């Protein structure tokens, strides 16, 4: 299966935030500074080919499962705009912890 969206982004961003707070105690109690650090070190140059291609496309998904709602398909021919796929960026926990 494919998992994406806020239900997947939120726990990953929260985990990265916890790592950053562990490594950088100066950010504790400063949520705006923590959020800014995560945004400043996020990856911003990714291409997302994994998005839905058509809301009315109810053909079976790539793995054969029925798709009753549309948006079940991988479209590798058309990219999704960065902001639509990743918002402010894709959290880079390593950069958020190690960059000065």
Q: For 63-80, b where at least 16 C-beta lie within 10 A, e where not — what string? A: eeeeeeeeebbeeeeeee
| 49 and 79 Cβ atoms separated by less than 8 Å | yes
Closest CA to 54 of 29, 74, 39, 34: 74
Closest CA to 16 of 91, 90, 88: 91
Longest dimension (CA), the chain: 52
| 72 and 64 Cβ atoms separated by less than 8 Å | no
Instruction: Give the tens place of pLDDT for each residue, 65-80.
Output: 777 776 666 666 666 6
Task: Provide CB contacts within 8 A for 5, sequence distance 6+.
Answer: none
Q: What predicted TM-score, i.e. pTM, was given to this entire model?
A: 0.65
Instruction: Give the tens place of pLDDT for each residue, 13-63.
Output: 999 999 999 999 999 999 999 999 999 999 877 666 555 556 777 777 667
């Amino acid at each position: 299966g494919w998992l994406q969206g806020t239900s997947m982004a939120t726990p990953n961003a929260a985990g990265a935030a916890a790592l950053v707070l562990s490594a950088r105690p100066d950010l504790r109690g400063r949520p705006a500074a923590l959020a800014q650090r995560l945004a400043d070190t996020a990856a911003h140059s990714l291409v997302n080919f994994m998005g839905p291609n058509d809301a009315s496309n109810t053909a079976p998904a790539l793995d054969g499962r029925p798709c009753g709602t549309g948006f079940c398909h991988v479209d590798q021919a058309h990219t999704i705009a960065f902001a639509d796929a990743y918002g402010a960026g894709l959290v880079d926990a390593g950069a958020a912890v190690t960059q000065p």
